[in-house]
Structure formats: structure tokens, C-alpha cells
Amino acid sequence: MSEATFLRAAGVTKVLGSSRVLRGVDAEFAAGAVHVIEGPNGSGKSTLLAILGGRMRPLAGRALLQRGGVAVAEGAALRRTVGWLGHELGLYGDLDVFANVALHAKLRGLDAEASWSTVAGSFAIEPLRDRRVRELSRGQRQRVALARTMIGNPPVLLLDEPSTGLDASAVARLADQVRVVVERGAIVVAVTHDPVFADGLGGRRWAMRDGRLVSGSS
């Protein structure tokens, strides 16, 4: 049996209020590749990403990590597997940057200093180490959140509008880091409205249309 690894959406349906946002989404996101989901506001991209990360329950269907045709994680177990960046960055404003990174490392059972050394250079946050998050610009907070997301080399990275607030050099740095984790065999799914960033990532393109996910070019 093949040991191919996929993050899979199987018949995922979601209703928010009176709107059926997702209509039986079926998709497989392969390991060792980046997958870019595009579409207009309100099309369900962020909702699908939250379900793929085990952060939201679908009305019907399931999201799971599958290896060799066997489900190895879903629900809470899938959530623990994922490196997550959402619209809400989840940073603690009254804590300094290092404390935010250290807290996430400890939650993953990792050494704080070692984790900092591994990720801080990737997003040029070393000079921000002792600054409180609430004092940072939007772009600086985004870089801190991205660095935190990479802690522990998670096998799945789910990124919702990861280029928000970043200048051109930071966007290029982000694209480089995505390529690094993909080369390590990670699954990366990125939702974006930024066509330049999407083009820079390459990989497989998907589009949300009428509550369904349509495969595009690769």
C-alpha cells in the first residue's frame, strides 16, 4: 500500500446562519506541495481552512489526515498536528514577542529557547524579542505569528491571508519559508487574495465557487 499522505476534505458541508457556505467539498491536498485557495470574500475559503485544521466542525462530512489510505488524525488530533495562522493572530498583546513564541513552544512540548533560535531568523523578528506585541505594527505582528506557526516543523501548515501587512521583502521571505517546509514534505494550504504572492508560491491552485472547491492549474 502506498504511504502517500494527504489532508482530505470528504463531503464537507457547512451552514452559517441561513447560508450554506460549503456544499459537499471533496479535495485532497498532497504532502510535499503547496496548495493555494483563491476566491471572493464570503466564498467559504476561511471556513474550509478552519474545518481542515480541526478548528470548526462541519455540518456534514469530515476533514482528516490520511496516510497510506488510513486516517491518522482528525478532530482534536488533527488540530494538534497543524501549524495554524488565522485572521485572528492569537498573540497576547501584553506579553513580549519571546514570551508569545515560548508559550506556543511549551504547548507543543518543546524547549522555548531552542524554538526561538529555530524560527526567529526566518522572519527577522530577533530585534523584536523584548517588545510587547501590542506595541508592534500590523506587519510586525504578522511576522511574529508566522514564526510561531512554524515551531516544531508541523506536517500541515494552514495559512489564512499570510501576506497581510507584509512589505515586499517580508512576502519574499515568507514564500522562501513555505518552499523550505514543502521540501521537507509538509502539506501547505494557503488562502490568499494576493495574486503576486500566489504566483510566487507556485504549487497547485484551487478556487472556491458556489460553495465548492474547484481544482485549477499546478
Cα 139 to Cα 53: distance, rounded to the nearest angstrom: 24
Closest CA to 144 of 95, 186, 178: 95
Per-residue pLDDT band at 45 (split at 50, 70, 90): very high
Q: Is the confidence at residue 142, as pLDDT, over 70?
A: yes
Q: Is the confidence at residue 217, as pLDDT, over 80?
A: no
Q: So what's the pLDDT on residue 76?
A: 87
Is residue 113 assigned to a domain? no
Is residue 41 assigned to a domain? yes
Q: Percentage of residues in the chain with pLDDT exceeding 70? A: 98
Q: How many domains does the chain have?
A: 1
What are 70-107's pLDDT values in tens digits? 888 888 888 988 999 998 899 999 999 999 999 999 99
Give the CATH number, domain containing residue 198.
Answer: 3.40.50.300
Cα 15 to Cα 187: distance, rounded to the nearest angstrom: 26
Cite the DSSP H helix spans in 131-167: 138-149
Is residue 178 assigned to a domain? yes
Is residue 105 assigned to a domain? no
Is residue 134 assigned to a domain? no
Task: Give me the domain span that covers residue 23.
Answer: 5-90+154-215
Residue type, 40: P
Q: Is the confidence at residue 174, as pLDDT, over 60?
A: yes
Do 2 and 69 form a contact (C-beta atoms < 8 A)?
yes
3-class DSSP assignment, residue 89: coil
Do 202 and 14 form a contact (C-beta atoms < 8 A)?
no
Is residue 188 assigned to a domain? yes
Q: So what's the pLDDT on residue 178?
A: 93
Cα 43 to Cα 22: distance, rounded to the nearest angstrom: 8
What's the DSSP call for residue 4?
-
Is residue 99 assigned to a domain? no
Q: Is the confidence at residue 19, as pLDDT, over 90?
A: no
Q: Is the confidence at residue 163, as pLDDT, over 50?
A: yes
Q: In what order do the strands lie in the sheet with 212-215?
A: 82-85, 156-160, 187-191, 33-38, 204-209, 212-215
> What's the pTM value of the predicted model, to 2 decimals?
0.92
Q: So what's the pLDDT on residue 3?
A: 77
Is residue 118 assigned to a domain? no
